[in-house]
Amino acid sequence: MRALRDFAVVMSLVYASALAAEPTAPEAADPAKGQRIAAGVCAACHGPDGNSAIPANPVLAGQVPGYIEIQLAAFKAGTRPSPIMQGMAASLSPEDMRNVAAWFGSQVPKGDQASDKAMADRGQQIWRGGLKSVALPACAGCHGAAGHGLPIQYPRLAGQHSDLSVGWLKAFASGTRPNEVMRQVAAKLSENDMKALAQYIAGLQ
């Protein structure tokens, strides 16, 4: 009987130790804290509410928070190369990243406009139906019909600056921005197709 009691005590300690070792769930994001961080670190390039007025800098307002968080971590680690963003993300803790992502994700994007309707119409066809001639899937399949993205994996693209979207597609196609799925997609697009998609994306609301 004593051996059984001793075994029970040992097993209770083992279970207690295992429970203590389980990772705790991260605290809920605090957009107010994220706003304060964004005001000091992000606003100059992306705007105080994430609506960037500079075509070279992406719009972050309304972006999928989990996607922003993952990208900030990648910038900090250097797995997504960008000397500027690596420097900006260097001082951010995981909690900071979560809060900043929540702030930008809660903001309302102002959107952009397509400057070339004919190109945008061509882009709409590719976005919705892909290109059968090169076995290109529809962009809407991953990024959503309205371009609002799907949590964590696929970012919101609606209203993004057209020049920036073209630059991203070229970087994916060349491999300078590592992403195997997008490399295979972008490599099938001509430069005109990229520009057409970028025009359509810019006008998505």
* Residue 186, domain extent: 117-203
Q: Would residue 129 count as lying in a domain?
A: yes
Which of the four pLDDT bands, split at 50, 70 and 90, describes residue 201? very high
CATH number of the domain that 147 lies in?
Answer: 1.10.760.10
DSSP letters spanning 62-90 = T--HHHHHHHHHHHHHTSS--HHHHHHHT
Using the CB atoms, write b or e for 85-96: b if 16+ within 10 Å.
Answer: bbebbeebeeeb
> Which residues contact residue 200 at a Cβ distance below 8 angstroms, ignoring those fewer than 6 apart?
114, 119, 120, 121, 122, 123, 124, 126, 127
Question: What predicted TM-score, i.e. pTM, was given to this entire model?
Answer: 0.83
Residues 121 and 194 in one domain: yes
Residues in the chain: 205
Residues 56 and 130 in one domain: no
What share of the chain in percent tops pLDDT 70? 87
Q: What confidence score (pLDDT) does residue 26 get?
A: 61
Q: Average pLDDT, whole number, for the chain? A: 88
Residues 97 and 125 in one domain: no
pLDDT digits (tens, 9 = 90+) for 58-109: 999 999 999 999 999 999 999 998 999 999 999 999 999 999 999 999 999 9
Residues 126 and 198 in one domain: yes
**Residue 10: C-alpha distances to residues 5, 7, 139 (Å):** 9, 5, 56
Q: Would residue 11 count as lying in a domain?
A: no
Q: What confidence score (pLDDT) does residue 153 get?
A: 87
Helices (H), 144-190: 162-174, 180-186
Give the count of domains, the chain.
2
Q: Would residue 45 count as lying in a domain?
A: yes
Q: Would residue 49 count as lying in a domain?
A: yes
For residue 193, pLDDT over 50 is answered with yes
**Mean per-residue pLDDT, 14-31:** 57
Residues 94 and 138 in one domain: no
Residues 196 and 127 in one domain: yes
- Name the least confident of 10-24, 43-57, 168-182: 10-24
In three-state secondary structure terms, 131 is: strand
Cα distance between residue 88 and residue 57, in whole Å = 14
Phi, psi of 95 (to 5 degrees): -65, -40
Residues 64 and 139 in one domain: no
Residues 126 and 195 in one domain: yes
Residue 188 has a CB neighbour count (10 Å cut-off) of: 15
Q: What confidence score (pLDDT) does residue 199 get?
A: 97
| DSSP 8-class letter at 176 | S
Q: Which residue, chain included where needed, has tokens 């993952």? A: 70
Residues 140 and 195 in one domain: yes
- Domain-ending residue, one of 46, 75, 105: 105
Cα distance between residue 88 and residue 75, in whole Å = 9
CB 152 within 8 A of CB 66: yes
Q: Would residue 18 count as lying in a domain?
A: no
Residues 75 and 140 in one domain: no
Residues 125 and 76 in one domain: no
CA-based nearest residue to 167, from 194, 148, 185: 194
> Helix crossing, 65-77 with 94-105: angle to 10°?
140
Q: Would residue 89 count as lying in a domain?
A: yes
CB 166 within 8 A of CB 195: yes
Which of the four pLDDT bands, split at 50, 70 and 90, describes residue 25? low
Cα distance between residue 59 and residue 158, in whole Å = 9
Residues 96 and 127 in one domain: no
Cα distance between residue 137 and residue 202, in whole Å = 20
